[in-house]
């Protein structure tokens, strides 16, 4: 009984202790909150309480900060300067005179669709003649300057072929001996045939032998000289190529040189098969050589279309198209050229000269004249080109004035205007 009573007393005492501890903890919390509120009252950060905390000279307000930033940036203005506000380029009259500046007012004009390709300059058919050896022997040229490009007159002595000291002997002496023998036999056959002492066949054989010997003898004797048998130029023109050297041995019929009249040339254009359906509409062409930036027009060279292939050449992926034109002396036979085939016309098209365009990473630009000394750069989209002018599909309007010469100098001025004067860090 005593034990139970003792346990009960202990339980009640613990309960009272716990309750007392809780009340004490709550009282302490209340006391701390009271102290904190009192402290906060003493250090009030409200605007009223800041009257004693003078911010004059230590102002954190945004208005005054922006003013300071603006004042400090006044000498470092990033805004566009006058004359550059709309991307304008100032190019003075003095600069224009130095650059030989030229402009053009855009007008609508007829423009022809162009097929760009490449090809080669060739000699016209029938314009070349090959000189061959008329006998066997050793060659000696009549003139030391017999080289490619040398001018040749018709009938001029080109070389001599000598058979002296050769085992086969002098062909002229042989021809002379054969001629005399054939002549005697022919005269004898004439007297015998009258008495029917020889057959008609023997008579005809003697006659044929005499005529052949006579032809050979006349040919050799007519061109015979102390140096051998002469070979003469069959036409007037120029030496295209020399196939042998002085002192070479040649045989009858062997090519010695090629002489060209050099009056006509051919332009061979290699056309891709995808343009085959357009080839019937092509009438002329422009071309440009690698050694000259000038574009040549066939109509100015009395040129004409000769023919075009109806199929693809063997070992090739192109269809040949041939034009013929007069050789004016400025075109090199054998040269490879860039060709613009002039096809379907485009009426009232907007075009600019090739010289007016500049390119930057695949984007094309022209320079517009806005005022007396004011220009601007304008992006454009381009189409076909005929070698002289380029079709503009967008970015330009009729009546606008563009720079056609001195474009590079204007471009330099545009790049310089990107950094305004006085912009110093």
Q: Give the number of other Cβ atoms within 10 Å of residue 45's Cβ.
A: 9
With residue 184 as reference, give the H or E element that holds it. helix 171-194
Contact status, residue 384 vs residue 391, Cβ threshold 8 Å: yes
Which residues, in sequence order, are CB contacts of 125 under 8 Å at separation 6+? 266
Q: Specify the pairing of strand 264-272 against strand 284-289.
A: unpaired
pTM: 0.46
User: How far is 135 from 324, CA to CA, in rounded Å?
Assistant: 36
> Mean pLDDT over all residues of the chain?
77
pLDDT of residue 154: 87
The alpha-helical segments, DSSP class H, found in 43-168 are: 62-72, 93-98
Q: How far is it, in rounded angstroms, from Cα 101 to Cα 27? A: 96
135-172 residues labelled b (16+ CB within 10 A) or e (exposed): bbbbbebeeeeeeeeeebeeeebbbbbbbeeeeeebbb
Sign of the C-alpha dihedral computed for residues 298, 301, 304 and 307 taken in this order: negative
Q: What pLDDT shows up at residue 118?
A: 93
Residue 86 has what pLDDT?
A: 55
Among 322, 408, 417, 421, which Cα is nearest to 358's?
Answer: 408
Per-residue confidence (pLDDT) for residue 39, from 0 to 100: 45
- pLDDT beneath 70, residues of the chain: 1-86, 168-169, 222, 313, 417-425
Amino acid 24: pLDDT: 46
Burial of 263 (0-12, 13-18, 19+ CB in 10 A): exposed
The pLDDT assigned to 192 comes to 85
The two beta strands, 336-353 and 284-289, are: antiparallel
Spatial distance between the Cα atoms of 304 and 302, rounded to a whole number of angstroms? 7
Name the one residue in this structure whose structure tokens are 């009549």: 142
Give the pLDDT score at 269.
93
Long-range contacts (CB closer than 8 Å, 24 or more residues apart) made by 376-380:
376/86, 376/87, 376/88, 376/89, 377/87, 377/89, 377/411, 377/414, 380/352
């Amino acid at each position: 009984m005593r034990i139970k009573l003792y346990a009960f007393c202990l339980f009640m005492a613990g309960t009272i202790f716990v309750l007392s501890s809780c009340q004490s903890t709550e009282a302490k919390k209340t006391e701390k909150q009271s102290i904190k509120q009192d402290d906060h009252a003493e250090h009030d950060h409200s605007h009223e309480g800041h009257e004693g905390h003078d911010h004059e000279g230590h102002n954190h307000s945004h208005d005054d900060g922006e003013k300071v930033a603006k004042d400090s940036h006044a000498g470092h203005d990033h805004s566009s300067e006058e004359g550059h506000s709309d991307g304008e380029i100032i190019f003075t009259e003095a600069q224009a005179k130095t650059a030989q500046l030229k402009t053009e007012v855009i007008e609508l004009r007829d423009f022809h669709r162009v097929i760009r390709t490449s090809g080669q300059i060739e000699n016209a058919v029938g314009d070349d003649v090959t000189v061959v050896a008329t006998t066997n022997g050793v060659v000696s040229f009549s003139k030391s300057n017999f080289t490619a490009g040398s001018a040749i007159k018709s009938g001029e002595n080109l070389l001599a072929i000598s058979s002296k000291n050769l085992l086969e002997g002098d062909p002229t002496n042989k021809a002379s001996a054969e001629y005399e023998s054939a002549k005697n036999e022919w005269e004898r056959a004439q007297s015998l045939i009258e008495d029917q002492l020889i057959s008609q066949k023997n008579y005809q054989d003697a006659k044929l032998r005499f005529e052949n010997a006579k032809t050979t003898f006349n040919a050799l004797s007519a061109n015979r000289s102390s140096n051998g048998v002469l070979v003469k130029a069959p036409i007037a023109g120029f030496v295209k190529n020399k196939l042998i050297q002085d002192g070479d041995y040649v045989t009858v019929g062997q090519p010695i040189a090629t002489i060209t009249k050099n009056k006509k040339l051919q332009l061979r254009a290699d056309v891709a098969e995808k343009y085959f359906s357009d080839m019937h509409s092509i009438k002329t062409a422009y071309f440009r050589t690698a050694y000259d930036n000038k574009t040549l027009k066939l109509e100015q060279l009395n040129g004409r279309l000769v023919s075009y292939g109806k199929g693809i050449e063997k070992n090739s992926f192109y269809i040949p198209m041939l034009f013929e034109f007069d050789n004016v002396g400025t075109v090199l036979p054998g040269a490879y050229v860039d060709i613009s085939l002039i096809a379907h016309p485009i009426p009232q098209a907007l075009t600019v000269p090739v010289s007016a365009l500049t390119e930057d990473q695949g984007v094309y630009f022209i320079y517009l004249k806005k005022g007396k000394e004011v220009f601007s750069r304008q992006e454009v989209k381009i189409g076909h080109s005929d070698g002289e002018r380029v079709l503009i599909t967008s970015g330009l309007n009729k009546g606008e004035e563009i720079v056609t010469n001195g474009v590079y100098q204007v471009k330099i001025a545009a790049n310089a205007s990107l950094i305004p004067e006085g912009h110093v860090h």
